[in-house]
Amino acid sequence: MTTIRVLLVDDDPLVRAGLSLMMGGAGDIEIVGECADGGEAEALVDRTRPDVVLMDIRMPSVDGLTATERLRARADAPQVVVLTTFHADEQVLHALRAGAAGFVLKDTPPAEIVEAVRRVAAGDPVLSPAVTRQLMRHAAGTRADTRQARARDRLAALNDREREVAVGVGRGLANAEIATVLFMSVATVKTHVSRILAKLGLNNRVQIALLAYDAGLLDE
């Protein structure tokens, strides 16, 4: 069994202790380090080589957004899951755009947080379709016409099939669901997703969904 290495970044020692306790009961997860500020995260990542970083979004010195941007810009970037007390928050959106693989609420049941870590380590973003729609609605109030134009320009690099897959991802569909809708195999969908990520310089499916929304594709 492969062990998932996890780093905790949160300024609340009680939160870190709680996370360590709940992760400690999972035989496939190891807490390899913890720190109280985003400014310490990079050095700690160098020392501990985590697979997943659980990142608080609000910290007094270097916040989770800045720390996420720095970590995801690395060639050997770990997956980042944002810890938050809000379902839809502008800072959470920024972190997702910066490459976070999703977010979990701090009051999420322990078993679900453990499962979220496993999913992210396996390359599956932690955002349900319902949460995705909620975030999209939250972003709508601040979306400018220039953002839509920029998003459409970026998506112009995709061919028609890749564009259809991007819309499916934006609507929160799993690969199997996209395959059914578009009459293709799951393997072909996975190939298209990989090509979309490469062509657009994105990190994960969450960023594809946000870009599709910004471009207005989900309204078409």
pLDDT in tens, 196-218: 999 998 888 888 988 888 888 88
Q: What confidence tens digit (pLDDT) does each residue in 82-93 have?
A: 888 766 567 777
pLDDT tops 90 at residue 178 = yes
In this prediction, residues 190-195 reach a mean pLDDT of 94
**What share of the chain in percent tops pLDDT 90?**
43
pLDDT tops 90 at residue 95 = no
Sheet strands (E) in the chain: 4-9, 29-35, 52-56, 79-84, 102-105
User: What is the reported pLDDT for 157?
Assistant: 94
Cα–Cα distance, 120 to 219 (Å, whole number):
28
User: What is the reported pLDDT for 145?
Assistant: 64
In this prediction, residues 119-132 reach a mean pLDDT of 72
Query: What does the CA dihedral 177, 178, 181, 186 come to, rounded to 10 degrees?
Result: -90
In this prediction, residues 70-79 reach a mean pLDDT of 88
Residues 6 or more apart in contact with residue 191 via CB below 8 angstroms:
none
In this prediction, residues 48-67 reach a mean pLDDT of 91
Cα–Cα distance, 101 to 125 (Å, whole number):
5
Looking at residue 110, the DSSP 8-state letter turns out to be: H
